[in-house]
Amino acid sequence: MENVHSGIVCGVDEHGQVIYSAGDVMHVALLRSAAKPFQALPVARQKIDERFGLTSREAALFAASHRGEAYHLEGLESLLAKTGIREDELLTCPTYPLNEAPKFACLSQGVAKRRLFHNCAGKHLGFLALSKERGYTTSDYYKQEHPTQQEALAAFASLAEYPQEHIGLAVDGCGFPVYALPLKHLAIAYLKLACPDLIAEQENRQAVEKVTGWMTAHPEIIASHQFICTALLTDPNIIAKGGAMGVYGFALKKERISFSLKVLDGSELVWPLVIANILEQIDYSNKETIARLHALAPKEIVNDNQLVVGEKRPVFVLEKC
pTM score:
0.97
Domain count, the chain: 1
> Rounded to an integer, what distance in angstroms lies between the CA atom of residue 76 and that of residue 102?
15
Band the pLDDT of 131: cuts 50, 70, 90: very high
Quick one: what percent of the chain has pLDDT higher than 70? 100
Q: What is the per-residue pLDDT for 204?
A: 95
pLDDT digits (tens, 9 = 90+) for 58-69: 999 999 999 999
User: Which whole number is the average pLDDT over 260-286?
Assistant: 97
Angle at 231 between CA 120 and CA 149, to 5 degrees: 25
Inter-residue contact 160 to 204 (CB < 8 Å): no
CATH number at residue 76: 3.40.710
Asked if the structure places residue 1 within a domain, the reply is no
Asked if the structure places residue 118 within a domain, the reply is yes
Instruction: Report CA-CA distances (Å) from 35 to 71, 162, 246, 253, 285.
Output: 23, 14, 13, 19, 27
Asked if the structure places residue 171 within a domain, the reply is yes
User: Which whole number is the average pLDDT over 251-271?
Assistant: 97
Q: What share of the chain is helix, strand, coil (3-state, %, to 5)?
A: 45, 15, 40
Asked if the structure places residue 176 within a domain, the reply is yes
User: Which whole number is the average pLDDT over 19-33?
Assistant: 98
Mean pLDDT of the chain: 97
Domain span including residue 53: 7-320
Q: What is the per-residue pLDDT for 79?
A: 98
Cα distance between the two ends of the chain: 31
Band the pLDDT of 317: cuts 50, 70, 90: very high
Asked if the structure places residue 2 within a domain, the reply is no
Q: What is the per-residue pLDDT for 29?
A: 98
DSSP code, position 145: T
Asked if the structure places residue 125 within a domain, the reply is yes
Asked if the structure places residue 57 within a domain, the reply is yes
Q: What is the per-residue pLDDT for 265?
A: 97
Asked if the structure places residue 152 within a domain, the reply is yes
pLDDT digits (tens, 9 = 90+) for 167-215: 999 999 999 999 999 999 999 999 999 999 999 999 999 999 999 999 9
